[in-house]
């Protein structure tokens, strides 16, 4: 185990973080430059040492040829243009950026990615990525450990995880795996395999617990292995022909008329990738049922009611999604209550997968892990914060280990370059059902050990060719900053503390501008995303409040027609809708802002209340070096905007 440095006390700088990033001012430029030059040279020597007897194919004098020079100048020109154009990029690195879910990049990941790029590994399989494909499988195990899944590949029920281009594709993979697990026992029944102890009818087969399906699948493989080569092939083909992946949805449900296309349940706060996924898999977005929330967290009672109705109507459910850190509000669903709801409805014959969409909040799990992998108690975690974590938030993280699969985005709270999402399932044996080629049919038993098997990643993942450099970046980052509270956890710790400071500043700001503006935190933040609702005093109409907030947002968002430096801060907006919050919550918020409930117009853009949304993931929001709080500066900025608009309003009226 790595020796860990002491954690910083409240209000002090964590010096480990100083070496983690290039920095808002590019402070660590020399460090990054040194690394890049060192490893670029290293790469060149590697090329030369492959067969040093092969002479250079490009002549030493080639660089003087006019065509060479012409090419070089064209390339330079285009690169200069690119570099110039990129100066209009959004300054994610700056503590003045509190908009979307992105910030500076971790140096170990950035350097690992850059140094791997010229080797160009393709993680589709070991043939194209002998080094980085193992790293990707290791990343899956690292994340599994962080989540509380079994992560020892020697165990039969070890977890498995892989990278994707992002959370969206990881969510597709979750749907794909859940559907494969659900429909497989039905296919086995239809194929008429003797002596496997199969469920008695299609409904029971379609509602087998994931663990039971995995056990059934193991029995089926063992049974196959005992057959002669020819029989094995024949039975395998017979089962494959019955599978939903082979028949397609329409045919599968036509052959099994007692079954219906299953629903996917997700909170109304779910990311739109779920709707995309339903369309992509052909399940249809109509089958995505949005469960109401309380305080923007899935309402367990509403979930119970939905599940009871499904059981009654014999409406199958494919999966229930719990969101761990909603994209718009940062709120954390009660994962424990979702598991309890499933347990409750199992007695009525309904079963389904529980998937956690932790694309945003996944890395917060590091705050809850000891170095030895044990879960930290709420009291242990709470010692580092003012309010965090609520008992509900702690219970949600504690329950992760009992779910079936999780989506985590290294390119969000993992501070890594884009192109890095991850899908992790609790029991890797389920992945057999996704394999494009069932090797056990040809070899008689499951091939090789865990690591050997997953070197053929392309067999199991939704994508084909994929970046090995991205895998190297995630792997190296997790090695430099292991996924526990003493290492990686320092990052989310800094951001959750910043969010607590932000919340306190917001409350003070609300009092300071109370003479001209109603300001409200619409709900208690669960972690590091804080929303703020506002309405100019005297205005009673939602349309007026929205117009004011949209105008404010115009000063907070990127505008390519203006120099970047014109922007003081970057923020983002989202909205609150009655169908998301429920009528009582919406009423509470409108009342607190002195808005007329009737002014929520049913059509047009003002059927919702626009609010500010702040993602507080920049590690330099509090600059201890210079005694600057960018959070306080942000509220001073808001205060100026509020006062200026109040003056304009007064001039206009009178
Ligand atoms: C960001 C996000 C996604 C989508 O992830 P991408 O990496 O953008 O594809 C899905 N779910 C949640 C909760 C998210 O925050």
Domain-located, residue 573 = yes
pLDDT at 1: 46
- Examine the domain organization and report whether 333 and 458 are in the same domain: yes
The residues that bridge with 265 in the sheet, in sequence order, are 289, 320
Q: Which residues line ligand 1 (CB under 6 A)?
A: 166-168, 171, 271, 273, 323, 327, 357, 359-360, 409, 421
For residue 250, tell me if it sits in a domain.
no
**CA-CA distance, 357 to 172, in Å (whole number)?**
11
Whether 468 and 326 map to the same domain: the answer is yes
Residue finishing a domain among 480, 506, 535: 480
Residue 458 shares a structural domain with residue 549:
no
CATH code: domain of residue 337: 3.40.640.10
Please tell me whether residues 288 and 390 are part of one structural domain. Answer: yes
Atom 10, ligand 1: which residue's CA is nearest?
A: 167
Question: Which stretches of the chain score pLDDT less than 50?
Answer: 1, 444-445
Verify that 299 and 157 share a domain, yes or no. Answer: yes
Output the CA torsion 112→115→119→125 (10° steps). 10
Contact 264, 287 (CB under 8 A): yes
Same domain, 454 and 498: no
Residue 228 is assigned to a structural domain of this protein: no
Query: Residue 562: its pLDDT value, please?
Result: 87
Residue 393: what pLDDT?
98
Nearest residue CA, atom 6 of ligand 1?
167
Q: How many helices (H) and strands (E) does the chain have?
A: 24, 15
**Could you list the residue range(s) of the whole structural domain that residue 388 is in?**
135-182+264-480
Give the nearest ligand 1 atom to 421 CA: 7
Same domain membership, residue 496 and residue 466: no
Q: Which residues contact 184 (CB under 8 A, 6 or more apart)?
A: 213, 216, 217, 243, 433
Which of the listed residues 102, 167, 172 should we mutate to test ligand 1's pocket, taking the one with most ligand atoms within 8 A of CB?
167
Q: Are residues 371 and 516 in the same domain?
A: no
How much is the pTM?
0.96
416 and 552 assigned to the same domain: no
Q: Looking at the domain assignment, is residue 407 inside a domain?
A: yes
Specify the pLDDT at position 3: 57
Using left for φ > 0, alpha for ψ between -120 and 50, and beta otherwise, residue 604 falls in: left
Q: Which atom of ligand 1 is nearest to the CA of 418?
A: 7
| 548 shares a domain with 645 | yes
Measured over the CA atoms of residue 179, residue 183, residue 188 and residue 192, the dihedral's sign is: negative
Domain count for the chain: 2
Structure tokens, 237: 């083909």
Among candidate residues 437, 456, 480, the one where a domain is terminated: 480
Residue nearest to atom 3 of ligand 1 (CA): 167
Domain end (from 433, 458, 480): 480
């Amino acid at each position: 185990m790595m020796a860990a440095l002491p954690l910083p006390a409240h209000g002090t700088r964590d010096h480990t973080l100083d070496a983690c990033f290039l920095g808002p001012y590019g402070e660590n430029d020399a460090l990054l430059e040194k690394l890049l030059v060192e490893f670029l040279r290293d790469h060149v020597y590697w090329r030369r040492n492959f067969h040093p007897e092969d002479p250079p194919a490009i002549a030493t004098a080639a660089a003087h040829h006019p065509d060479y020079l012409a090419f070089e100048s064209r390339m330079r020109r285009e690169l200069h243009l690119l570099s110039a154009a990129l100066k209009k990029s959004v300054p994610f690195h700056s503590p003045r950026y509190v908009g979307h879910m992105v910030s500076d990049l971790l140096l170990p990941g950035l350097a690992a990615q850059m140094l791997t790029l010229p080797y160009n590994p393709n993680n589709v399989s070991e043939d194209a990525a002998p080094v980085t494909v193992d790293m990707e499988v290791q990343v899956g195990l690292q994340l599994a450990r962080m989540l509380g899944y079994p992560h020892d590949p020697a165990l039969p029920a070890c977890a498995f995880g892989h990278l994707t281009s992002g959370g969206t594709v990881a969510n597709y993979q979750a749907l794909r795996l859940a559907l494969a697990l659900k429909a497989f026992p039905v296919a086995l029944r239809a194929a008429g395999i003797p002596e496997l102890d199969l469920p008695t009818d299609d409904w029971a087969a379609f509602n087998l617990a994931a663990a039971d399906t995995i056990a059934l699948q193991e029995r089926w493989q063992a049974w196959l292995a005992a057959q002669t080569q020819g029989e094995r092939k024949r039975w395998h083909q017979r089962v494959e022909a019955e599978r939903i992946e082979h028949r397609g949805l329409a045919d599968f449900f036509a052959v099994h008329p007692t079954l219906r296309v299953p629903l996917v349940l997700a909170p109304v706060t779910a990311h739109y990738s779920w709707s995309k996924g339903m369309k992509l898999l052909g399940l249809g977005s109509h089958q995505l049922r949005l469960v109401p929330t309380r305080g923007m967290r899935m309402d367990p009672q509403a979930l119970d009611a939905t599940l009871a109705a499904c059981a009654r109507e014999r409406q199958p459910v494919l999966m229930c999604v719990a969101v761990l850190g909603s994209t718009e509000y940062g709120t954390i669903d009660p994962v424990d209550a979702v598991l309890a709801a499933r347990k409750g409805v199992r007695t009525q014959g309904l079963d389904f997968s529980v998937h956690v969409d932790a694309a945003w909040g996944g890395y917060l799990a590091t705050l809850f892990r000891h170095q030895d992998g044990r879960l930290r108690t709420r009291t242990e975690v709470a010692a580092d914060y003012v309010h965090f974590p609520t008992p509900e938030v702690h219970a949600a993280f504690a329950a992760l280990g009992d779910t079936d699969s999780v989506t985590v985005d290294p390119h969000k709270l993992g501070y890594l370059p884009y192109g890095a999402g991850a899908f992790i399932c609790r029991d890797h044996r389920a992945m057999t059902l996704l394999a494009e080629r069932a090797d056990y049919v040809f070899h008689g038993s499951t091939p090789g050990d865990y690591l050997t098997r997953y070197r053929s990643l392309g067999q199991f993942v939704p994508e084909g060719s994929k970046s090995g450099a991205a895998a190297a970046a995630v792997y190296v980052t997790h090695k430099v900053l292991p996924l526990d509270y003493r290492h990686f956890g320092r990052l989310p710790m800094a951001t959750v503390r910043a969010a607590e400071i932000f919340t306190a500043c917001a409350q003070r700001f609300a009092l300071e501008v109370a003479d001209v503006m109603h300001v409200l935190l619409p709900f208690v933040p669960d972690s590091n995303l804080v929303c703020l609702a506002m309405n100019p005093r005297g205005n009673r109409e939602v349309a007026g409040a929205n117009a004011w907030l949209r105008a404010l947002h115009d000063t907070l968002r990127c505008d390519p027609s203006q120099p970047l430096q014109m922007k003081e801060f970057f923020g983002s907006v989202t909205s609150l809708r009655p169908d998301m919050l429920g009528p009582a919550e919406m009423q509470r918020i409108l009342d607190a802002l002195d808005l007329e409930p009737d002014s929520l117009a049913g059509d047009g853009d003002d059927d919702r209340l626009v609010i500010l949304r702040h993602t507080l993931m920049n590690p330099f929001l509090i600059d201890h070096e210079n005694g600057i709080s960018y959070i306080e500066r942000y509220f001073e900025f808001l205060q100026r905007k509020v006062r200026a608009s109040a003056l304009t309003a007064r001039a206009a009226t009178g």
